[in-house]
Amino acid sequence: MSTHVEPEVLLEKVGRAGVITMNRPKVLNALNLTMIRQIYPQLKKWETDNDTDFVIIKAAGGKAFCAGGDIRAVTEAGKVGDPLAQDFFREEYILNNAIGTCRKPYIALIDGITMGGGVGLSVHGRFRVATEKTLFAMPETAIGLFPDVGGGYFLPRLRGRLGLFLALTGFRLKGRDVQRAGVATHFVESKKIPDLEKELVDLKSPSAEDVTRVLDTYQNKSSLDSDKPFVLDKHMSDIDRLFSASSVEGIMQNLKADGSEFAKKQAETLSKMSPTSLKITYKQLQAGASMSLQDVLVMEYRLSQACMRGCDFYEGVRAVLVDKDQNPKWNPSTVEEVSDESLEHCFSSLGERDLTL
């Protein structure tokens, strides 16, 4: 009996569209280096190919678009000095940049769980279509990492302090709220996605405006949850006020002093996160607000390698993904103990090992 091995990513031409399908549904389409190495050259080829007008990225399985990067493999590599710990981040960020600079319309159908690396495969593209099944988060501070894949670029560009709030707390947005937050450009009901895809593929030499028109039409036909307010609506002024402090310590003080139920909950959440990750993330978003996507990715590559040199990333992955005891022992254990000097070191140049785009 021959064992048929499913490819981890499908790359096909459908009409004049290049279609990428993540195909690891059993592991929620977690992104690994093999997939990155297949997607990147194909995307670059389609970008210059006269027979390809636009790109669609979607996923198999119906549950997840992509729940993140294959982080366990990366930490295993980091422990033994395997180059995967460098190659994964480097090539992932190069792909994120290729999506962000793609000259043809890039449409991500984020119909399901979209976190971390999955956000990187979608958010920098021209069009991001959420459905009621979309679950968005950047949960990296809980595993001793930081919201990478260009998080330093897109998060500070969300309204007010929303991006910083999402980055530090890992707060999850669902369905229509993903669009209301500005992470998705459109909301379409999940059952309409196959028809939407067919209509897109049938377009003849479409411009970005043509794609927009089709997506707008489907969005207008999707009334599910349209009467419900944005989940953070009533908290937005609090988020802007409480998260506008000039340091992580300041934010924590604000939350404790505020005393509201919402503030208490956020203070409790932040107290569980890696103190080093919180401080890296704050500085990353502060700097990224005025940087290009390219400069952000260069900065984030430096940060990724600092996390590989440190201990919190390994401990976070152990506690959350491996042993699942949800009880990481962070070192340092408080934000006050994370020195400015150690933080600066995370952001410093890697010289010839820096990411070049």
Inside any domain, residue 26: yes
The pLDDT of 220-246, averaged and rounded, is 96
Q: Give the residue numbers marked as catalytic.
A: 69, 117, 140, 148
Give me the sheet containing 186-187, strands edge to edge: 9-14, 17-22, 54-59, 106-110, 127-130, 186-187
Inside any domain, residue 237: yes
User: Does the pTM of the predicted model rise above 0.75?
Assistant: yes
Question: How high does pLDDT run on average in the chain?
Answer: 97
Tens digit of each residue's pLDDT (9 = 90 or more) over 76-97 = 999 999 999 999 999 999 999 9
The count of structural domains within the chain is 1
pLDDT category at 205 given cuts 50, 70, 90 is confident
Run of H or E residues at 208: helix 208-220
Say which CATH number the domain at 134 has. Answer: 3.90.226.10
Inside any domain, residue 221: yes
What pLDDT is attached to residue 1?
56
Inside any domain, residue 4: no
Tens digit of each residue's pLDDT (9 = 90 or more) over 151-174 = 999 999 999 999 999 999 999 999
What pLDDT is attached to residue 88?
98
What pLDDT is attached to residue 47?
97
Residue 248: which domain range?
Answer: 9-353
For residue 118, how many other CB atoms are within 10 A of its CB?
Answer: 29
Listed in sequence order, the residues at least 6 apart from 339 whose beta carbon sits closer than 8 Å to its beta carbon are none
Inside any domain, residue 2: no
Inside any domain, residue 324: yes
Q: What percent of the chain shows pLDDT beyond 70?
A: 99
Q: What percent of the chain shows pLDDT beyond 90?
A: 97
